[in-house]
Amino acid sequence: MNKHWRELIEDFRSLILNFQIENGNELEEFRIKFLGTKNILKPLFAAISSIPNEDKKEYGLLLNQLKSLADEKYSQFKELSSSTENKSTEDLSLPADLTRIGSRHPITLVMDKVVSIFSKIGFQVVEDREIEDDWHNFTALNTPDDHPARDMQDTFYLKDRNDFLLRTHTSSVQTRFMTTHRPPFRILAPGRVFRNETISARSHCQFHQVEGLYVDTNVSMADLKQTLLFFAKEMFGKDVKIRLRPSFFPFTEPSAEMDIYWGLKDETDHRITKGTGWLEILGCGMVDPAVLDNCGIDSKVYSGFAFGMGIERQAMLLYKIPDIRYYFENDLRFLRQFKNA
């Protein structure tokens, strides 16, 4: 019994000490919770009658110290809040506030994890420009002039310079690398891409990708499958369920899309997966020989595979995030959830 109430008081003490107060709303929340008419400390005072007589003095002393701690913290932050409001925001000589500790964005967390997984099997990171020319973004990747992806509905072109655009995928990094390096190589191209799409819970006009490319002699579809299976197990656990579905991309042949089983446990699952339980996370395939030839690599000697995945979808799976728009709204309530990730 003694151990129980002492631990309980210590828990409340930790709760008071660790309560974060960064603005007026949080200060008022603290006051209501610990000092208001229905504060959470009141039941502790009411329970004094159940404490053994020999412990009541110590119990009462600890409770009073607990209440004093709450009073002191409230007064301290109230005074600090008042003085901050009275200070001019133009006074650049004021010392910096170093008490607020930020957090890494979920996109950064997931992208770093993806890069770490593929680094284990020899993939190196390559980065390049976000404003790209038509040849590296489309033509070199075997995209015909009349392909829908070239239409203004999908691509952001620069004003008065229709031969330059905001890259629609990080495949352009791969084409630049292939024109300046000789096989064999395994590369990853992480980065932000842009497409003129309607913003919804499932899509956005900007998002992040990690694309991979492996070119060598005798590379096969079996190599691609085993690579992606390794990634899925490292990313989502050894019991992960995946499936490959035939698809089409101008720069790979044959092509496929890989899905991860998300589940159908609640309404959010149904909405995100359109009632199937499966969520598409990447596209992949064997590099089309025409792409290798366009980049100066002999397709009769070399072959390769490529894949590309949306990081936002990966983060939705890992952190159970129901709406892709949360990533770009800069809502601190959302971002603070990843402080310890």
Answer yes or no: do 160 and 236 share one domain: yes
Residue 95 placed within a domain: no
Phi, psi of 129 (to 5 degrees): -70, 155
Answer yes or no: do 214 and 297 share one domain: yes
Answer yes or no: do 129 and 44 share one domain: no
Domain end among 53, 86, 119 = 86
Answer yes or no: do 36 and 120 share one domain: no
Is 41's pLDDT higher than 70?
yes
State the average pLDDT over residues 177-189: 96
Instruction: With cut-offs at 50, 70 and 90, classify the pLDDT of residue 234.
Output: very high
Concatenated DSSP letters of 30-94: HHHHHTSTT-TTHHHHHGGGGS-HHHHHHHHHHHHHHHHHHHHHHHHHHHHHHHHHHS-TT-TTS
Residue 54 placed within a domain: yes
Answer yes or no: do 61 and 157 share one domain: no
In the chain, what percentage of residues exceed pLDDT 90? 40
**Better pLDDT: 110 or 59:** 110
Answer yes or no: do 77 and 175 share one domain: no
Cα 67 to Cα 35, 40, 283, distances in angstroms: 8, 11, 59
Element (H, E) at 195: none
Structure tokens at 182: 């000789």
State the average pLDDT over residues 40-57: 83
Answer yes or no: do 112 and 76 share one domain: no
Q: Could you read off the pLDDT of 113-134 as tens digits, one per residue?
A: 999 999 999 999 999 999 999 9
Q: Could you read off the pLDDT of 156-176 as tens digits, one per residue?
A: 889 877 789 999 999 999 999
Residues in contact with 310: Cβ distance below 8 Å, sequence separation at least 6, in sequence order: 207, 208, 209, 281, 282
Residue 97 placed within a domain: no
Answer yes or no: do 130 and 203 share one domain: yes
Distance CA 27, CA 208 (A): 37
Q: Could you read off the pLDDT of 190-215 as tens digits, one per residue?
A: 999 999 888 887 778 889 999 999 99
Residue 163 placed within a domain: yes
In the chain, what percentage of residues exceed pLDDT 70? 92
Instruction: With cut-offs at 50, 70 and 90, classify the pLDDT of residue 85.
Output: low
**Nearest residue to 125 (alpha-carbon basis) of 191, 194, 219, 182:** 191
Domain end among 86, 118, 143 = 86
**Better pLDDT: 17 or 251:** 251
User: Is this model's pTM higher than 0.85 or not?
Assistant: no
Instruction: With cut-offs at 50, 70 and 90, classify the pLDDT of residue 102.
Output: confident
- What is the tally of structural domains in the chain? 2
Element (H, E) at 26: helix 24-34
Residue 101 placed within a domain: no
Answer yes or no: do 192 and 312 share one domain: yes
Beta strands 206-216; 185-194: pairing state: antiparallel
Residue 93 placed within a domain: no
Answer yes or no: do 244 and 320 share one domain: yes
Beta strands 303-310; 206-216: pairing state: antiparallel
Residues in contact with 54: Cβ distance below 8 Å, sequence separation at least 6, in sequence order: none
**Beta-bridge partner residues of 215:** 185, 304
Predicted confidence at residue 334, as pLDDT, reads 85
CATH number, domain with residue 255: 3.30.930.10
State the average pLDDT over residues 233-252: 90
Residue 94 placed within a domain: no
Q: Could you read off the pLDDT of 268-289 as tens digits, one per residue?
A: 778 778 889 888 889 999 999 9
**Better pLDDT: 335 or 227:** 227
Burial category of 306 from C-beta neighbours within 10 Å (exposed 0-12, middle 13-18, buried 19 and up) = buried
3-state SS, residue 305: strand
Distance CA 245, CA 175 (A): 25
Structure tokens at 242: 């995946």
Answer yes or no: do 62 and 206 share one domain: no
Q: Could you read off the pLDDT of 323-333 as tens digits, one per residue?
A: 888 888 888 88
Answer yes or no: do 328 and 248 share one domain: yes
Cα 126 to Cα 26, 66, 185, 272, 296, distances in angstroms: 44, 55, 11, 31, 19
Domain end among 86, 117, 132 = 86
Contact between 115 and 126 (Cβ < 8 Å):
no
Instruction: With cut-offs at 50, 70 and 90, classify the pLDDT of residue 99.
Output: low
Residue 91 placed within a domain: no
Average pLDDT, the chain: 86
Predicted confidence at residue 45, as pLDDT, reads 81
Q: Identify the domain containing residue 259 by its residue range.
A: 106-338
Is 300's pLDDT higher than 50?
yes
Is 337's pLDDT higher than 90?
no
